[in-house]
């Protein structure tokens, strides 16, 4: 039975525009609502001033972190930062009486779980390769490690490759409800500010997320060409990329936005009429050699579900663990642009379909995929382990 103090160790840079930092902060916030004291170990690129850091996080993420003890480590270089995070977390674990350690950091899981032989709940988002793959394999051998994975596909592959008899828990990603957070006037003002509404478009189609290889940006551009009566927007990427795209853009009904803070990104979801998730068969996270298409549980998926907007997504096996075609989304072959265009127009022409899949996705989200629900599942895993 756990008491109330948790050491949560992450590889995230906080604050940043990375989805993993959103995951970590919202998960820690949800855990703190269970009367747990959370010490979050991560890295930062800012000068360490916890008060200012907390205010910056509140503004960027739209969440208060006053309930979280931020232990953000800054080093003058990025190389090896996760090793220093692991070392710092190990020292904290030996110094303070934490009830348990929850880690999204491979090296911290290895140091605390394998070397120090202390209990660690290790959340895994991919099977590592190379040296990291070897460390991950060794880490799994420790009886003190309890693996938690984000998809059934990852669960099955880990059991097949590493652990034949150990219990591996499945906890998909999550999101927070936000459809009632903004007034109609607020959203309308935001739409007028962000989008060129001087042209008459039938509907607005949006994508919010990373623009790394395999995210389907090229497919969205093709869709815009085929459907010039619709306005498309893509949110993601750095300013240099989006400025170049907008300047040299020959597709007049598509608009690019660089990274927005989390609050603004959710507003963009709410001003869209349809949201796209065109993942390809290989999906990069911006790191060479990392393909997460087989195991991912995208934060974007659950945010889309929470927005109560109709979703068109690629029919990848791992996405189909959550979404069902014609029930809570429309699912398409990631390579078939004509199928995507047909589904897009099907939603636009069929009000009943649009309403049905949107409400179904929202109901499923509220039932199973909120951060609060995920925090309670973590709590139950630890109490019953």
Residue 235 domain flag: yes
Residue 139 domain flag: yes
Q: How many helices (H) and strands (E) does the chain have?
A: 14, 13
201 shares its domain with 167: no
What is the CB neighbour count within 10 angstroms for residue 127? 18
265 shares its domain with 164: no
Chunked into runs of 10 residues, the chain (385 residues) has average pLDDT values of 82 89 95 95 75 72 88 78 94 91 97 95 93 93 93 91 80 95 94 83 92 84 95 89 83 91 93 95 54 79 97 95 97 96 96 97 98 96 87
50 shares its domain with 120: yes
62 shares its domain with 155: yes
129 shares its domain with 198: no
127 to each of 36, 136, 268, 382, how far by Cα in Å? 30, 8, 33, 23
Q: How many domains does the chain have?
A: 2
187 to each of 59, 206, 243, 307, how far by Cα in Å? 18, 15, 24, 13
143 shares its domain with 250: no
- Residue 266 structural domain: 184-368
pLDDT at 196: 81
Record the tokens describing residue 292, joined without a space: 């997460």
Residue 81 domain flag: yes
pLDDT at 80: 83
84 shares its domain with 199: no
Residue 71 domain flag: yes
Residue 216 domain flag: yes
Q: How many angstroms separate the CA atoms of 258 and 314, rounded?
A: 23
229 shares its domain with 342: yes
Residue 54 domain flag: yes
160 shares its domain with 192: no
307 shares its domain with 380: no
170 shares its domain with 212: no
Residue 179 domain flag: no
Residue 310 domain flag: yes
Domain containing residue 52: CATH number? 3.40.50.2000
Q: Is the peptide bond before 15 cis (omega within 30 degrees of 0)?
A: yes
65 shares its domain with 84: yes
Q: How many angstroms separate the CA atoms of 148 and 167, rounded?
A: 9
């Amino acid at each position: 039975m756990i008491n109330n103090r948790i050491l949560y160790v992450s590889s995230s840079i906080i604050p940043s525009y990375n989805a993993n930092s959103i995951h970590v902060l919202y998960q820690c916030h949800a855990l703190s609502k269970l009367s747990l004291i959370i010490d979050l170990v991560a890295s930062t690129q800012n000068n360490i001033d916890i008060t200012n850091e907390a205010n910056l996080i509140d503004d960027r993420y739209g969440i208060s972190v006053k309930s979280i003890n931020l232990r953000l480590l800054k080093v003058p270089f990025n190389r090896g930062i996760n090793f220093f995070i692991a070392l710092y977390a190990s020292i904290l674990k030996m110094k303070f009486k934490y009830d348990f350690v929850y880690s999204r950091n491979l090296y911290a899981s290895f140091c605390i779980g394998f070397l120090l032989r202390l209990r660690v709940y290790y959340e895994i988002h991919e099977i590592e390769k190379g040296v990291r793959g070897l460390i991950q394999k060794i880490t799994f051998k420790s009886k003190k490690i309890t693996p938690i994975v984000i998809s059934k596909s990852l669960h099955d592959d880990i059991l097949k490759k590493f652990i034949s008899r150990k219990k591996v828990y499945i906890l998909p990603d999550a999101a927070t409800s936000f459809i009632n957070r903004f007034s109609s006037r607020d959203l309308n003002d935001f739409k007028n500010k962000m989008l060129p509404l001087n042209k008459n478009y039938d509907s607005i189609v949006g994508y919010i997320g990373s623009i790394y290889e395999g995210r389907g940006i090229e497919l969205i551009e093709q869709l815009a060409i085929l459907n010039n009566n619709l306005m498309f927007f893509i949110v993601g990427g750095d300013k240099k990329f989006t400025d170049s795209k907008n300047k040299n853009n020959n597709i007049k009904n598509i608009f690019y936005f660089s990274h927005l803070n989390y609050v603004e990104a959710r507003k963009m979801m709410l001003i869209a009429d349809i949201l796209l998730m065109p993942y390809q068969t290989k999906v990069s996270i911006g790191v060479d050699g990392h393909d997460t298409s087989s195991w991912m549980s995208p934060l974007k998926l659950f945010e889309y579900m929470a927005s109560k907007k109709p979703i068109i997504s690629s029919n990848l096996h791992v996405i189909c663990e959550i979404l069902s075609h014609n029930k809570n989304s429309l699912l398409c072959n990631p390579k078939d642009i004509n199928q995507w265009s047909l589904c897009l127009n099907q939603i636009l022409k069929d009000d009943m379909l649009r309403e049905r899949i949107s409400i179904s996705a929202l109901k499923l989200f509220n039932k199973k995929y909120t951060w609060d629900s995920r925090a309670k599942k973590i709590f139950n895993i630890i109490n019953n382990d």
